[in-house]
Structure 1
Amino acid sequence: MATLTTGSGLSLPCLVLLLLLGIPGVGAQEFQLLQPQGAVSVSAGETPTLNCSQTGNPPAGPVKWFKGSGPTRLLVYEDKGSFPRVTRADDRNTDFTIRISDTRPEDAGTYRCVKFKKGLGASLPVGPGLGCSQAVAARPSAPSVSGPPSRAEPGTPVTFTCTSGGFSPRDITVTWLKNGAPLPVPQPRVLPEHESVSYSVSSTVGLSLSAGDVRSQLTCQIEHSALAAPLLGTYDLSHALRVPPRLRVGSDPAGCITRNESVTFTCRAEGFYPQGASLTWLENGNETDLGKPSRLTENPNGTFTLQSSLEVRATEQRSQSAFTCRAVHDSQPPVSASAMLRVSLTPTLFSSPALWIGLLLEKMLTGAFLLFLFLRGHRPVLP
C-alpha cells in the first residue's frame, strides 16, 4: 500500500506527529501583536479609538494597555477591573481595541498594548505593540478682559489684560483691536513654560485714553488650532474713563449792572463722563442758594452737560461780590469757576427821585417865565 506524502516530502502521519509535538516553524503561524496607528489627534470631549489585534498562535495570557513606558507607565486597561472612561471596543479574542470617552488634555501621550504570557506566579510580557501617540487638542476658555482698578482721565496711560486657559497644544495667537483696528502689542505669555497637558495665556496692552473713547470698545481675539472660529472678549472703554467737566460762568445782563437791577448768573458744566455730577453756588466763598438746575443732556460723543442758574438783586452791598459755581463730579475734588458782580453806584436820571422833582420844577419855572413874557408882549396900549 502506498504511503501518502506531502509536497515537502513528509508523509502525512509524520506531519501530524510534528504538529502534535508543537515543533516551531512547522504548520504554525508566527504570533504578532499589531498596533497599526502611529498617531491620532482628537479634540477634547471626543472618543478616540486605539487599535490593537493579535495574529498567529498567541501564548496563553492577557493583553493590557499602558500609557507611557518604563517604570512610570500607567495601566489604563486590562480584562479584569474597572477603568473609568476606557472600554474595550471588540470582545473577540483577537481584537483588543479600546475607546477613551470624554477625552481630556491629560489623556495625551503614547499608548501601548502589551501581550503577557502566563508563567509561574506572574505573567511575563512577550509582545509589546509599537505604540500610538495620542494628541488631544483642547479649546481655550472664553477670553476675559480686565481694565484698571479705577477710572483714568484722558491722556493717562492705562493697562488692559486678556486671559484664557485650559487649551492644548500651547501654540496660540492673541490679537488686540480698538474699534476693529489692530493694536501693536508684545507677545503673549503662555504658561507653564515647560511641557504640560494644558496651558494658559496672558496678554497685556497699554493705551492712553481720550475724551472721545466714551463710545470706544477694546477687543481681545484668540485663535487656536482647536477653534473653528476666533474667540472674542470685549471691554467698553467707558468703564475705565473719567472726563472732568469744563465750567463756564456768565451773567445776564453782562458788564456793570444798575443798582437794584435783577441779574442771572449761569453755570455750564460741559463734556463730562460719567454722568454723576452736581452744581452748587457760593457768594464770596459762602454757600448760597442751590440755584435752578437744568435737565442733564447727553452730547453726541457720549459725554454730558449740566446747567444751573442763580438769580440775584444787584444791591449796593453786593457790588464786587464773587459768585462761584462749584462742580463735584464722580466723587473727585470739586472744580469751580467765578464771575464778579459789578454794581453801578452813580445816580442817573432814571434812578434818582430828587432829580425827577428838580427837573419838573425847572420846567414849571421855565413855562411860567415864558407865559409872563407872552402876556407882557400882548398887553393893550392905552390912548
Structure 2
Amino acid sequence: MEPLPRGPGRAAWPLTCLVLLCLRWPGAGAQAGQSFQLQQPQTKVSVNKGEMFNLTCTTSGDDHPGPMKWLKGWGSENETIYDQTGSFPRVTRAVSESNTDFTIHIMDARLEDAGSYYCVKFSKSLGGVQVFQHGKGTEVSVHAKPSPPVVSGPQHRAGPGQSVPFTCTAGGFFPRDISVKWFKDRSPILARQPQIITPEQLKSSYNMSSTLMVMLKEDDVRSQLVCAVQHPTLTAPLTGMYQLSKALRVSPSVHVDADRLSLSEVNKTANFTCHVKGFYPRGVTITWLENGTEIKVENTSQPVETPQGLFELSSLLQVQATEEKNGSMFTCRVVHDAQDPISRTATLQITAPARDGLSNWSQAYNGNLLVIYIVVGVVCTVLALLVAAILYLIRAKQSKGKSSPSARLHEPEKSSEATTQESDPNNLTYADLNFDRERKTIRRMVEMSQQSEYACIQTSQAPTSDDNLTYADLDMVHLSKAPRRPAPRPEEASSEYASVQIPRK
C-alpha cells in the first residue's frame, strides 16, 4: 500500500507514546466528559479488490474538544487513514461536516488495505493531544478475484495418437482457496490439483497453474478444451478455452492415379492425377518431378474442407506421350505443414502404334480372342486324352476277360471207320471248356451227375501275378471206362478242376 500523505495535524513519535500511555490507562481524561460515547459497531468487513468499503463510527453525548481520526493498526505500527484536517484522496466522509457521524468510505480497495481499523477520539490538554476514547476495531479483509484463466498448448503441432500438455493459468486472487476443472467438449477430464504459487509478501495475491495431458485424435479438429476456475469471490466460474485444432496435425494420404497410362498411345496426352486427402491444417504444397527434375504444373485445385474438418485437393499433370518419354518416371511430391515431403511415383508406359489402322480397342479385343482360343485348345486336348485313356482301359479289360481257364481233349487221328461214327451224338471225342476265374468247390463237383467220368488237372500253388495257367490240351484215345468211383478229393485248395462227362454207349 502506498503511504498515505500526512495531515497537518498528524502527531509523530510524541503522539505515539501518548497513545501507548492512554492504552495502559484507558480511564485517562474520562473525568472531563463522562457523557461522551463512541460507537464502532462493525466487527468484520469483507471487500473485493477494486471495490469501495465503509467503516462506521458515531458519537453521542456531550461534545468534547479534540479531533476524530481513523487509525489502521494499533501501537507503534499504527497508520493514520483519515484525519479531519488532512488530505486523503481515497477516503471521504459519509456525512460531511457532521459532529456525530464519522463514517468514512474507502475507494478502490487494495490487498494492502486488509487489517484492523480503529475510530479514535482525541482530547486537547496543556500537555498536548491524547487519546480520549476509541472503538473496538473493525477487521477488514480484501478479496481479489482471479484473472480470467488462460489455456496454452504445446509449442509444436502433434499428430493423432500423441499425448501433449495443456496449461491453465490464473493469478491475482486472494484468499488462497481456488479450484480448477477441465472439460473436453463438455465432458469432464480428471486432472491433478492445481499448483498454487505463494506470494512473497503476506498481503499479496496468489497465482495458480494447472497442467493436463491430452491424447490427440484425428476427429479433434473441431474439439475444444475448457478450463473452469472457481473462487470464493466469484458467483460463477471463470472459463478459458483452447481449440485442439491449434495443436493437431493430420498428415495427408497421397496417391497418384495412373490407371490409364498403360493404354496411352504415341503422341497422345497422358494424364497423371495426384490425390492428396485427409490433412490438417490446410497449408500444403504440391510439386511434380520428371525423372527427378522439377516441372511446372498449374492444374492444382484449392483445398476443400470435408465434413470431418479435414482437407483434400488434387493436382493434374498432362504429358505428351512421345516415344522418347516411354518409361519416364513422374513423381508427385507433397509438403504439408513444413514436414518431410511425401512422394508417390508413376511410370509412363506407351504401347506401340496400332497397325492396319486398328485402334486400341480392336487390339485389346484381338488379344482377348487369342486367349479364348488358347483356353479352348487346351480343354479339347485334355478331353481327347481322357477319351483315349478310357478306350484303352475298356480294351484291356476285354482282353483279360477272354483269358479264362480252358481245357481241350483231343483223340488221335481217326480211321475211316471212325469217320462213319461222327454222326453218333454219344461219341464225344473233343471238348473245349472255358471257366470263369473262380474256384470250384468240392460240393459243386460232387453234385455233378454220378455217371460222369473225370479228368483232373491239378496245378501247384497259384502264382501271385495274373499269368495263371488258363489253357490246357489233353490228347488221349479215350477215357478209362473203369467202374464208377467218386470224384477224386482235391489235395490242395489251390487245385483247379475240369470235368468231362462222356455218355455211355
Of 37, 47, 57, the residue aligned with 2:42 is 37
Is residue 159 from structure 1 mapped to residue 165 from structure 2 by the alignment? yes
Paired position in structure 2 for 1:47: 52
Of 328, 340, 343, the residue aligned with 1:336 is 343
Report the count of equivalent residues. Answer: 329
Cα distance in 2 for residues equivalent to 1:238 and 1:199? 31
Cα distance in 1 for residues equivalent to 2:82 and 2:152? 45
Write the deviation string for residues 42-81 of structure 1: whole angstroms up to 9, x where unpaired: 2334332212234556764222211223322221011111
Cα distance in 2 for residues equivalent to 1:225 and 1:336? 58
Note the C-alpha offset of 1:329.
Answer: 1.8
Residues 188-197 or 268-277, more deviating: 188-197
Cα distance in 2 for residues equivalent to 1:348 and 1:279? 40
Paired position in structure 2 for 1:73: 78
Amino acid of the structure 2 residue aligned with 1:98: I
Note the C-alpha offset of 1:259.
Answer: 5.7
Paired position in structure 2 for 1:243: 250
Decide which structure has the larger Cα Rg and report it: 2
Amino acid of the structure 1 residue aligned with 2:163: P
Distance 1:346-1:106 versus aligned 2 partners, 3 A rule:
same
Write the deviation string for residues 154-194 of structure 1: whole angstroms up to 9, x where unpaired: 33332222222232222122222111112222222233256
| Partners of 1:252 and 1:263 within 8 A in 2 | no
Paired position in structure 2 for 1:175: 181
Is residue 304 from structure 1 mapped to residue 311 from structure 2 by the alignment? yes
Higher helix share: 2
Note the C-alpha offset of 1:94.
Answer: 3.4
Amino acid of the structure 2 residue aligned with 1:100: I
Is residue 184 from structure 1 mapped to residue 182 from structure 2 by the alignment? no
Cα distance in 2 for residues equivalent to 1:299 and 1:27? 91
Is residue 209 from structure 1 mapped to residue 209 from structure 2 by the alignment? no
Write the deviation string for residues 246-287 of structure 1: whole angstroms up to 9, x where unpaired: 111121316576666643222111111111112111122111
Q: How does 1:1-383 map to 2 (within 5 A)?
A: 29=34, 31-55=36-60, 60-90=65-95, 91-120=97-126, 122-193=128-199, 195-253=202-260, 262-290=269-297, 292-344=299-351
Distance 1:153-1:70 versus aligned 2 partners, 3 A rule:
farther
Q: Secondary structure of 1:228's match?
A: coil
Higher strand share: 1
RMSD: 3.0
Cα distance in 2 for residues equivalent to 1:27 and 1:152? 82
Note the C-alpha offset of 1:228.
Answer: 2.0
Write the deviation string for residues 72-94 of structure 1: whole angstroms up to 9, x where unpaired: 22210111111122122234433
Identity %: 48
Cα distance in 2 for residues equivalent to 1:254 and 1:338? 13
Task: With the length of structure 1 as denominator, give the TM-score of the two structures.
Answer: 0.75
Q: Secondary structure of 1:150's match?
A: coil
Task: With the length of structure 2 as denominator, give the TM-score of the two structures.
Answer: 0.59
Q: Which has the higher contact order (CA 8 A, sep 6+)?
A: 1
Amino acid of the structure 2 residue aligned with 1:71: S
Distance 1:78-1:138 versus aligned 2 partners, 3 A rule:
same
